[in-house]
Structure 1
Amino acid sequence: MSNPRPLEEEVYDMSGARLALTLCVTKAREGSEADLNALERMFRQLGFESTMKRDPTAQQFQEEMDNFQQALDARNDPVSCAFVVLMAHGLEGRLKGEDGQMVELENLFEVLNNKNCQALRGKPKVYIVQACRGEQRDPGETVSGGDIVMITKDSPETIPTYTDILHVYSTIKGYIAYRHDREGSCFIQTLVDVFTERKGPILELLTEVTRRMAEAELVQEGKPRKVNPEIQSTLRKRLYLQ
């Protein structure tokens, strides 16, 4: 039996422009400014051209995404990567605008896919969503054992419409996301710390974010709670930000 061959490392070309769009509802979301300040620091360190919009309505969430896509496709220089940060109150699959109306996350994600945004075709698109996805609360469990990791590699001549995308949610489906009134959210603050302190492919960095959040002790209404992000990836290559 022959020994398995190590994976050949393929990486995304990050030599072009890096663009970031942050849409954040601050209304009734104490701590949001701390998150915005942390993100601004992170994007500056990672060499991103960053645009931040506060308190969009549900319609403006969609309009700002459309404007971002049009600006990307209108650029004369090559684009390497785009980050979109969405922060608001929410339910599973939806975000609440400043006006109290809901916008579908799927409609926002559609805007930059390989079919609709030529500048990002075959380029990594990273979505970071800081929002509740339900009302459940996790008190935590005592577990033991290891993790199983499956690694796949695919390099087709044509690419699927929904590839090269990374969704990072602040919590898992059905559960609350936590935010401190002064210090910001556990998720955004931890993500910024890891992304600015560590080097490595983004999925390994996100594993570190998950580890730190899983170990964190959160207290809500006097009761201990646990929370961790959820990561959904169709990236075909390794993505390095540092």
Structure 2
Amino acid sequence: MLGECGMKERDKLALKKNSVALCKEMVVDELLIQFLQAEDVLTEGMAETILAEPTSHKRSWRLLSLLPKRGPQAFNSFCTALKETEQQHLCTLLIRFRERENKPTEIEGEMSLAQDNTPAKDRGNQERFPEPVFPLPTQECAVPAKRARTHESMEMCLDADSPVTTAVLPCTPEFYMSHSAQAYQMSSSPRGLALVVSNVRFEPELSELDTRRGGEVDEEVLRRLFTELDFTVSLHKDLTVQAMRDCIEQFARQSEHAVCDCSAVCLLSHGVEGSIYGTDGQLLELDWVFERFDNARCPLLQNKPKMFFIQACRGEEMDSGVDQIDGDDGKEPAGCEQRDAGREEKTERQSEAGDERERERLRVKLPQRSDMICGFASLKGTAAMRNTKKGSWFIQEINTALRLRARDTHLSDILVQVNGRIKEREGYAPGSAHHRCKEMSEFTSSLCKDFYLFPKLQGHPKGRQYLVKNVWPRREKGGSKTEIQAGGAEGVRTDRPVGRRAAGGRWH
């Protein structure tokens, strides 16, 4: 019996019987919720309630508790949403369970055929509007239960040919007017130049530097993301250390920086603390990279924000996580720094008047390095996680956060949100070192103002003439396929060398 707002009993049963697997494996993010809102399955209030839950498990539980009350089409819409957010294996799990529970016996089938007195006209309508049938993967991808999944089948089910993306949400003129005064100027078109260097395949004799499967996905994600953020993107693949140096120096010297308001550099490779690998097994120091963009060597980017994203391991330690204990986060009491600052304030005021005269005689100077922000995929000494088909965890979260939050959030806060999302992620590969592995990203900043990208907002700020580009939500199709490799958590790999030391490097 179906109530006015109820779900079919067979669909309720499918959700109930598979609720444990769904809560453990489902990713309930903004994209999934937006899809369900577009299908009128969830109201705005419901969406806010779900996303306000502090953990992934609780968000999944809250969604599953609402779905049975959202009408007879909620189940099919939910399955479609899973498919559209690269969770095809969960969609398959539900569909196959429903088919198995409702499969008639041979006698029942004959009786139903004999008793089928439906008029031809009605049967025609049923044929025109059938229940959606979702494509099923091969047998290796079948996931009847989480514990039955092998490394290979798990990877095939969790992975897809290309990352799921939604259009970068546009900034509004009102937001720009209320926040631009305290932010870096960001009105040029293009906003800036973006350099993406991606090393996926290394020289064959370097057995300790395996092919970074999934790296192709990362580079395509970044290319699309920065293009939509109105950057001019240069993508370079599989470079030796010397080629990386030449590429970075040439990029830093480009005259186009003079008419742009910011820049971006993304480096993706294997790495150790403080350095990343070229395809020849040599190491490129990150400090050398940052120096190319300091105020002395790159005058065209003085006082302009420069963002860096480093997808590489910073050591060989695997973060296995720790058990969380109950209680409030530790809060440090006011320490000696505060008291010392109070004592020093008087002395500083006394010398301030004399210093002011001296400053007037000196020309304005800048520190050697400033206005930079750099996001790292992992903490010092730890490995960075990469899915062999979806790409790295860090780049996935950067992509999602910038697309959804750049419209009204400055970059420092966006990277804090990325840290929170990375903190929640956990690998799954029973029997391997990657099972329940963790990762923690971090960032460093010498920014001096809020760094808003003001996406898809065009026009000169002084004239206050703005044009928000038309951005119909769309899903990017295609993209470069990546090979399937057995083993690892969610097809997880690390961006660290394996086996013996690589040439010119040491591990920490």
2:193–2:257 Cα contact (<8 Å) kept: no
> Which one of the candidate residues 207, 213, 216 is aligned to 2:422?
213
Give the alignment of 1:107-186 within 5 angstroms.
107-141=288-322, 142=324, 145-146=328-329, 158-186=365-393
Rounded to whole Å, the distance in 1 between the matches of 2:366 and 2:443 is 21
- Matched with 2:197 is 23
TM-score, normalisation: structure 2: 0.43
- Matched with 1:48 is 231
Provide Cα deviations, 1:127-162, integer angstroms capped at 9, x if missing partner.
1000000011112121553487xxxxxxx9543121
Rounded to whole Å, the distance in 2 between the matches of 1:58 and 1:39 is 21
> What is the DSSP-based 3-state SS (H/G/I as helix, E as strand, rest coil) of the residue aligned with 2:318?
coil
- Matched with 2:436 is 224
Provide Cα deviations, 1:180-215, integer angstroms capped at 9, x if missing partner.
111100000111011011131001111111111101
Is residue 186 of structure 2 the alignment partner of residue 14 of structure 1? Answer: yes
The CA deviation at 1:52 is: 0.5
Provide Cα deviations, 1:217-240, integer angstroms capped at 9, x if missing partner.
223525211112111000000001
- Unpaired stretches in structure 1, ≥5 consecutive residues: 1-7, 149-155
Q: How many aligned positions are there? A: 226
> Which one of the candidate residues 402, 406, 410 is aligned to 1:195?
402
- Inter-CA distance 211–158: structure 2 relative to 1 (3 Å threshold): same
Rounded to whole Å, the distance in 1 between the matches of 2:215 and 2:310 is 13
The one of the two structures with greater contact order (alpha-carbon pairs below 8 A, sep at least 6) is 1
In structure 1, give the amino acid aligned to 2:389: R
1:137–1:176 Cα contact (<8 Å) kept: yes
Is residue 446 of structure 2 the alignment partner of residue 234 of structure 1? Answer: yes
In structure 1, give the amino acid aligned to 2:192: R
> Which one of the candidate residues 265, 268, 272 is aligned to 1:91?
272
The CA deviation at 1:75 is: 3.0
Rounded to whole Å, the distance in 2 between the matches of 1:97 and 1:56 is 6
In structure 1, give the amino acid aligned to 2:193: L
> What is the DSSP-based 3-state SS (H/G/I as helix, E as strand, rest coil) of the residue aligned with 1:218?
coil
> What is the DSSP-based 3-state SS (H/G/I as helix, E as strand, rest coil) of the residue aligned with 2:253?
helix
Rounded to whole Å, the distance in 1 between the matches of 2:444 and 2:270 is 20
Any runs of at least 4 consecutive aligned residues in structure 1 with deviations exceeding 4 A, and if so which? none
In structure 2, give the amino acid aligned to 1:168: G
2:320–2:436 Cα contact (<8 Å) kept: yes
Rounded to whole Å, the distance in 1 between the matches of 2:225 and 2:187 is 18
- Inter-CA distance 230–18: structure 2 relative to 1 (3 Å threshold): same
- Matched with 1:5 is none
Provide Cα deviations, 1:5-49, integer angstroms capped at 9, x if missing partner.
xxx962100112411001110111000111111111210221111
- Inter-CA distance 160–32: structure 2 relative to 1 (3 Å threshold): same
- Inter-CA distance 77–126: structure 2 relative to 1 (3 Å threshold): closer
Whichever structure has more helix as a proportion of its residues is 2
Query: What is the alpha-carbon root mean square deviation over aligned residues?
Result: 2.0
In structure 2, give the amino acid aligned to 1:58: V
> What is the DSSP-based 3-state SS (H/G/I as helix, E as strand, rest coil) of the residue aligned with 1:14?
coil
- Inter-CA distance 119–76: structure 2 relative to 1 (3 Å threshold): closer
2:257–2:301 Cα contact (<8 Å) kept: no
Whichever structure has more strand as a proportion of its residues is 1
Rounded to whole Å, the distance in 1 between the matches of 2:181 and 2:328 is 29
Provide Cα deviations, 1:37-72, integer angstroms capped at 9, x if missing partner.
11112102211110000001011111111000111x
- Inter-CA distance 47–98: structure 2 relative to 1 (3 Å threshold): same
Rounded to whole Å, the distance in 2 between the matches of 1:44 and 1:103 is 27
In structure 2, give the amino acid aligned to 1:230: E
In structure 2, give the amino acid aligned to 1:175: T
